[in-house]
Amino acid sequence: MSTFTTRRELFVLPDGITYLDGNSLGPLPKAAAERARATITEEWGPMLITGWNKAHWMDLPGRLGDRIGRLIGAPAGSTVVGDTLSIKVYQAVASAVEMRPGRKVVLSDNGNFPSDLYMADGLLKSLGQGHELRIVDPQAVSDHITDEVAAVMLTHVDYRTGRLHDMKAITDKAHAHGALMIWDLAHSAGALPVDLTACNADIAVGCTYKYLNGGPGAPGFIHVRPDLIDQVRPALSGWLGHAAPFAFDLDYRPGEGISRMRVGTPPVIQMAVLDAALDAFDGIDMTELRARSIVLSERFIAEVEAGCKAVTLASPRDPHQRGSQVSFRFTEGYAAMQALIARGIIGDFRAPDIMRFGFCPLYNTEDEVSFAAAALIDIIATGEWDRPEFRTRKAVT
């Protein structure tokens, strides 16, 4: 029995469901419910406010940051968990722009997750100093890194197509021009090997509810390269990023190291769930996980393309150029995905025509891949998708 087969047993995977949407929301780890129950009934209940000390709630952001750090090649003490990914993006861009005075461009691409772009644009407009958010095609990013760029902000894996940026090459190019490099690892952390240290990345952010299985609304994280952290002035000067939160000084003094990137009170129950979820990665070699992911995605592509000519691969053909997802374009992609979901095969849809399928070796199997491919082929061949109930758009796609 393989390591990944046994890890599948750690998750709640309902009978009759083939789940290929862990790139959007990971499934429930079986240990999470018990961990949440224990936090509520054995800590919050009897300990009340003393749980902050007795149960070490205040230590969770740093401790979980180090657990995630192992998966992204970050040294201990350089990653902290808390707030949302959007908040962490705001912190990252604000800090980078301030550390590069005189430069007015933040460079990103149109494959970046829109929320990252919204946060950066809103921040730059609020600064009112003539900064520009410059958005180019993903494949053209390197060509647009110039000496006027303060920071390059990219999502490592394109949320639509799964296209994978060359982290080392782009980071090197940014540094050659004096720019800071910000990576969003929302679709990378827990899905493929990442080595922030080897790539010399300046700042990285990410969420924990996708491949890390922390649950809906699970907190974000931020990493700052250790030699830079003391130069970073937190734009969001929250009380828990203060050097002495319980001194209640009226003046802000940033905390030491990565603690200064904390903002608000940590969501203890959600962090307890995340702590349990991260247990699934204990002992996992991310290189082996990546190899298994490629096997699954390659099988899916081969089987779908062998049986269906109506879809077009939107993801890179080379498996080493994409993350742990496969996207196909189909003119009626939304309806086709709803038809799949009605059969118990869950992926998701991104406008205008992309059907996304995530592959998570911790729980997905080759049999599931073949089952999903066959169903997709049949749904499109028979026109099963062409029903009013499948065409009606829901709030979440």
Of the residues 11, 159, 209, 221, only one is catalytic, namely 209
Say how far apart CA 225 and CA 112 lie, in whole Å. 22
Say how far apart CA 95 and CA 151 lie, in whole Å. 10
CA distances from 29 to 84, 128, 134 (A): 21, 45, 40
Helix (H) or strand (E) holding 182: strand 180-184
Q: Is 147 a catalytic residue?
A: no
The residue with tokens 């169903």 is: 375
CA distances from 135 to 112, 114, 116 (A): 9, 11, 12
The answer for residues whose C-beta is within 8 angstroms of residue 310's C-beta and 6 or more apart is 330, 380
Going by the DSSP 8-state scheme, the letter that residue 274 receives in this structure is H
β-partners of residue 184 are 155, 205
Alpha helices in 137-205 (DSSP H): 167-176, 196-199
Of the residues 83, 184, 202, 348, only one is catalytic, namely 184
Q: Is 30 a catalytic residue?
A: no
Q: Which among 217, 279, 212, 218 has a CA at the least distance from the CA of 34?
A: 279
Q: Which among 204, 156, 146, 207 has a CA at the least distance from the CA of 179?
A: 146
Task: Return the C-alpha torsion angle 305, 309, 310, 316, nearest 10.
Answer: 40
Q: Is 184 a catalytic residue?
A: yes
Q: Which among 333, 338, 73, 39 has a CA at the least distance from the CA of 193?
A: 73
Say how far apart CA 174 and CA 163 lie, in whole Å. 20
Q: Is 394 a catalytic residue?
A: no
Of the residues 210, 260, 290, 350, only one is catalytic, namely 210
Of the residues 35, 88, 225, 356, only one is catalytic, namely 356
Q: Is 116 a catalytic residue?
A: no
Of the residues 113, 281, 330, 390, only one is catalytic, namely 113
> Could you list the active site residues?
113, 184, 209-210, 356
